[in-house]
Amino acid sequence: MTSAAQVPPAMREAVDAARERVADLHAELPRWDLVAWTAGNVSERVPGVDGHPDLLVIKPSGVSYDELDAASIVVCDLDGALVEGERKPSSDTAAHAYVYRHMPDVNGVVHTHSTYATAWAARGEEIPCVLTMMGDEFGGPIPVGPFAIIGDDSIGRGIVETLKDHRSTAVLMQNHGPFTIGGTAKSAVKTAVLLEEVARTVHISRQLGAPLMIPQDKIDSLYDRYQNVYGQ
């Protein structure tokens, strides 16, 4: 599958580098047991230069993780149309593209079907903030987005509407599964990994009894420290 559109020469180096990164990051999804078979995807925004619009790179549809390399990653515009690649883009491309169009600070989007996070999504229930890790990373509970059908930008609209005024960088799309966003594709993958960890831990905690909620002022303090002080 090819397209009449082309990657502008001024963006070639950046696009090729993004394809390498995204191909490598896809390997993290099965490594952390976040996907099964060919499900799931990672994308990254490639900022436009010299008047050219932004592009995105994403996994092609229905391709095994073992087959993925930089050459197989496809390039699309922010309407989800193929710009470069021999295969059809992921069926979630329209959702990723919608997020990039409406959340300019987002440069990476990840979708998985990780077991515990998807189980919360199946119940349409947010994950309550009962762990310091959640306060650190998400600044509160993990919200639930609306039910939406795959194939157009309905999922993207639900992601944006849910997260645009929320500190969380993860959303549980009802009856579907988790999407995470980040300033980079790598940070969105990290969020997907941590989301599954807290989804699993809070689920297990509820089997033992009622988890203890963290007061909002403590959540705010945790979030501020982790986002602005923690690390190098």
Check if the beta carbon of residue 170 is closer than 8 Å to that of residue 195. yes
Active site residues: 111, 113, 136, 176, 230
CA angle 122, 38, 149 (to 5 degrees): 45
Q: How far is Cα 232 from Cα 221, in angstroms, rounded to an integer?
A: 19
Using CA of residue 189, residue 111, residue 197, residue 210, what is the dihedral sign? positive
Specify whether the CB–CB gap between 165 and 114 falls below 8 A.
Answer: no
Query: CA–CA separation, 221 vs 153, rounded Å?
Result: 36
Q: Which of 138, 136, 127 is nearest to 213 (CA)?
A: 127
Q: 173, 117 in Cβ contact below 8 A? A: no
- Strand bridging mode 144-145 / 170-173: parallel
What SS3 class is residue 66?
Answer: helix
